[in-house]
Amino acid sequence: MAPSDEYRARLERWSAKHAHSTRRFRDISNTRLAMGLLAVAVAAVSIGVGWISVWWLAIPIVLFVVLAVMHERVDRVQTESGRAISFYQRALSRVEHQWAGKGNPGDAFRAPDHLYAADLDLFGAGSLFELLCTARTAVGERVLAGWLQAPGEPVDVRARQQAVAELNPRLDLREELALMGEDVRVAIDDRVITAWGRRPAVRFFPGARWVALALAGCLGVTVILYFTQITSYTPMLVAALAELSFSLAVRDSVRASMAASAAPAGELKLLGLLLERLERESFQTPHLQALTHQLDAHGLTPSGEIRRLTRRVEYLDWSRNQFFRGIAAPLLWIPQCTIAIEAWREDCGPHIGEWVAMVGEFEALCSLASFAYERPAAIFPELAEDGPLFEAEGMLHPLIDPREAIANDVHLNGKGCALWIVSGSNMSGKSTLLRAVGVNAVLAWAGAPVTCARMRLSPLFIGASIRVSDSLQDHRSRFYAEISRLREIVDLARAGRPTLFLLDELLSGTNSHDRRIGAAALIRGLVERGAIGLVTTHDLALADITSTLGDRARNVHFEDHLEGGEIKFDYRLREGVVERSNALELMRAVGLDV
């Protein structure tokens, strides 16, 4: 079944379930109201008038309690089905290419000085991150963003490819993870809970836990003995003074523990939901097996340990209840709970970071698996060892609707043709080609499938100058910003890193004479240092650069034509240099007198 058909079928099922639960919720609410009114009527008749026994009140009260339990269950179903509807609506919007502005844009990961993130639309509304990210936690988002911002090691990327391929058809698993509560994304601050786990446990004096238990027991016994008149009040007072002394001795430690534990423990409870689900899953891929084996590598079951901590924190919260507070004090309830929490942190705290990292990586893999599922025509690229190399056939831009995108082939090889000069008129597709190359390279080295019929590439460090702008705050002109970016790209090549450069309208901010000289020297230097890449230009004089590089460079172009007074584009690459410009036609088309 096609992804869109599967999503629609599941959306219809969940919508029907939501509608049914909504009706039940309304009916039960009305019935509860009726039971409440009936209880009032029975009370009035039995107590006020005395016509019937007061025991008749038990019927509406019992029914009200039963309905309250049913109401809570129906409410959970209604909430869950509502989340499922949102999940599949977002999934359908991705398949139907209406996802821009509806997901997580990843604005927190924007870095203006990154060598290609802004140029390739990795973050922001309508970005690659928004298309890919289905993570529920901050760490999952951060892992995915990290994979997009830097190429992975070949061995790691191959492991991710296998993991993504296995996760691809597991839609049920992704659905379950998505339905675990909207508050998971908001609540889990992985850095806070990881730091809390790594911080040394608050120390109490040796044997404090057993002393507290013994003192509470002694006070309880002496109170019973006093009220049964077996002993005087003296033993009870001695026990109370001993408890007071103990409380003063551990007061600072108790306060420090309570201040530090409440929020992280609550967030761990939410993390435990994800871990519990993953603990039940079995995988065949070595990378996924290694990830899930981390969950019990230290003889601990994370979800079970988190439940143990959660119970201790809940017990501690009982002490805030005004009815229990009077009982909690003589039982030394707060010191006993805080000592137990710190004991847990000493045992399990160092492993929290591993649990969090595992969840983050798994969520990032699920994001790539969703992309693979929703783009069945996408393929995993072949990762070559020798390079630099970029070979793509039938390449589409991943952010353009596949039904509208035009496929092109690109072949760049550091041992052969390393440079393409791309000429063409305005709006013909030059910049889009650069971004298609860059985004597919990013996907490939993140471990995701690429939108190509075939791709083979080596490890590549991308440097792009496509969307460079001036900065009033930094007192930089556009030209200065561009040459600063170009210097960073050259530094990559100088450092011996396999570089893929993507340069749009190179040095357009200066005069044509300086531009030709500067561009020729820059491009030649990059190619001679082993870099590969594409350069777009309107200045046909720059196309002559290929003559100085021989077989290491070639000219390609996009064309347009006039049809019924309108400019038409086919967005298909052709050999050679473009022979015409459409600038004047475009100016006239918008109403300028030229």
What pLDDT digit, counting tens, does each position of 138-169 carry?
888 999 999 999 999 999 999 999 999 999 99
CA-to-CA separations, 135 to 278, 360, 361, in angstroms, rounded: 15, 8, 10
The tokens of 249 are what? 């001795």
Burial class (CB in 10 A: 0-12, 13-18, 19+), 182: middle
DSSP string over 144-198 = HHHHHHSPPPHHHHHHHHHHHHHHTT-HHHHHHHHTS-THHHHH--HHHHHHHHH
pLDDT in tens, 498-520: 999 999 888 766 666 677 788 88
Over residues 427-431, mean pLDDT = 84
Q: Hey, is 70 helix, strand or coil?
A: helix
The tokens of 511 are what? 């005069």
DSSP string over 429-490 = SHHHHHHHHHHHHHHHHHT--BSSSEEEE---EEEEESS---BTTTTB-HHHHHHHHHHHHH
Distance CA 476, CA 481 (A): 6
> Between these two residues, 409 and 313, which has the higher pLDDT value?
409
Half-sphere exposure of 319 (CA within 13 A, CB side): 16
- In contact, 334 and 253? CB cutoff 8 Å: no
Burial class (CB in 10 A: 0-12, 13-18, 19+), 433: buried
pLDDT in tens, 374-403: 999 999 999 998 879 999 999 999 999 998
Residue 587 has pLDDT above 80, yes or no: no
CA-to-CA separations, 364 to 134, 167, 190, 361, 550, in angstroms, rounded: 8, 11, 15, 5, 44
How much of the chain, in percent, has pLDDT values that exceed 70?
88
Residue 298 has pLDDT above 60, yes or no: no
Distance CA 531, CA 410 (A): 15
Over residues 571-585, mean pLDDT = 74
User: Sorting pLDDT into bands at 50, 70 and 90, what band is 584?
Assistant: low
CA-to-CA separations, 303 to 183, 295, 310, 561, in angstroms, rounded: 18, 9, 10, 64
Residue type, 273: L
**Across all residues in the chain, what is the average pLDDT?**
83
Q: Select from 201, 301, 313, 333 the least CA-distant residue to 266.
A: 313
User: Sorting pLDDT into bands at 50, 70 and 90, what band is 79?
Assistant: confident
pLDDT attached to residue 186? 47
Going by their DSSP bridges, the two strands 566-569 and 560-563 should be labelled as antiparallel
> Between these two residues, 54 and 247, which has the higher pLDDT value?
247
User: Sorting pLDDT into bands at 50, 70 and 90, what band is 189?
Assistant: low
> Between these two residues, 318 and 6, which has the higher pLDDT value?
6
Instruction: Give the rounded distance of the alpha carbon of 522 from its chain centre.
Output: 38
Residue 297 has pLDDT above 60, yes or no: no
The tokens of 345 are what? 């942190």
Residue type, 270: L
pLDDT in tens, 441-499: 999 999 999 999 999 999 999 999 987 664 544 545 677 778 888 899 999 999 989 99
Domain ranges for the chain: 1-96, 183-372, 382-589
| Highest mean pLDDT (candidates 28-37, 42-51, 532-541, 550-559) | 550-559
pLDDT attached to residue 433? 94
Residue 9 has pLDDT above 90, yes or no: yes
Residue 592 has pLDDT above 60, yes or no: no
pLDDT attached to residue 278? 84
DSSP string over 311-350 = HHHHHHHHTTSTTTHHHHTTTTHHHHHHHHHHHHHHHHGG
**Which range is least confidently modeled, 308-312, 525-529, 541-545, 562-566?**
562-566
Q: What sign for the dihedral angle of Cα 164, 169, 170, 175?
A: positive
Distance CA 310, CA 337 (A): 11
Place of tokens 């983050």: 360
pLDDT attached to residue 475? 44
Q: Select from 518, 190, 170 the least CA-distant residue to 365.
A: 170
User: Sorting pLDDT into bands at 50, 70 and 90, what band is 182?
Assistant: low
Q: Select from 375, 358, 331 the least CA-distant residue to 219.
A: 331
pLDDT attached to residue 316? 80
pLDDT attached to residue 330? 83
**Which range is least confidently modeled, 283-287, 299-303, 428-432, 445-449?**
299-303
Angle value at C-alpha 566, between 565 and 571, nearest 5 degrees: 145
Over residues 312-318, mean pLDDT = 80
pLDDT attached to residue 581? 61
For helices 138-149 and 352-374, angle between their N-to-C axes, nearest 10 degrees: 60
**Which range is least confidently modeled, 55-64, 75-84, 123-132?**
55-64
The tokens of 130 are what? 């928004």
pTM of the model: 0.84
How much of the chain, in percent, has pLDDT values that exceed 90?
35
pLDDT attached to residue 275? 84
Angle value at C-alpha 96, between 94 and 101, nearest 5 degrees: 50
Decide if domain 382-589 falls under CATH 3.40.250.10. Answer: no
Q: Which residues pair with 393 in a beta bridge?
A: 454
pLDDT attached to residue 511? 66
- In contact, 558 and 427? CB cutoff 8 Å: no
Q: What sign for the dihedral angle of Cα 451, 408, 386, 149?
A: negative
CB-based contacts of 404, cutoff 8 Å, min separation 6: none
Q: Select from 441, 532, 487 the least CA-distant residue to 113.
A: 487
The tokens of 414 are what? 């550091």
pLDDT attached to residue 24? 87
